[in-house]
Amino acid sequence: MPLHVELQAWFDIAAVLDLSLRGESLQGYLLALGKARLTTDDLLLGEIVASQVVAHMEQFYLSQRHQAALTH
């Protein structure tokens, strides 16, 4: 899905790499902006970064749940 025209204009976005973030407790997107010419290497690196973001966010969520369980 393309970015909203006003968002593109506001940030002067020429290209965007849109990466899906999907985990057990989170769902969203990671947008990489600012690189005019994206390559397959960018996509590969983006997928690695996205998987690391999901792993860290899931770990944080589980840690928060554990802390909440200990205080109740």
- Residue 37 DSSP symbol: S
Number of domains in the chain: 1
* pLDDT in the model for residue 1: 55
User: Which tens digits make up the pLDDT trace of 28-39?
Assistant: 999 998 888 899
Residue 69 has pLDDT above 70, yes or no: yes
User: Which tens digits make up the pLDDT trace of 8-48?
Assistant: 889 888 888 999 999 998 999 999 988 888 999 999 999 99
Instruction: Let me know: does 19 contact 12? Beta carbons within 8 Å.
Output: no
Residue 60 has pLDDT above 60, yes or no: yes
Give the Cβ contact number of residue 50 at 10 Å: 19
**pTM, full prediction:** 0.78
Domain that holds residue 57: 5-71
Residue 65 has pLDDT above 80, yes or no: yes
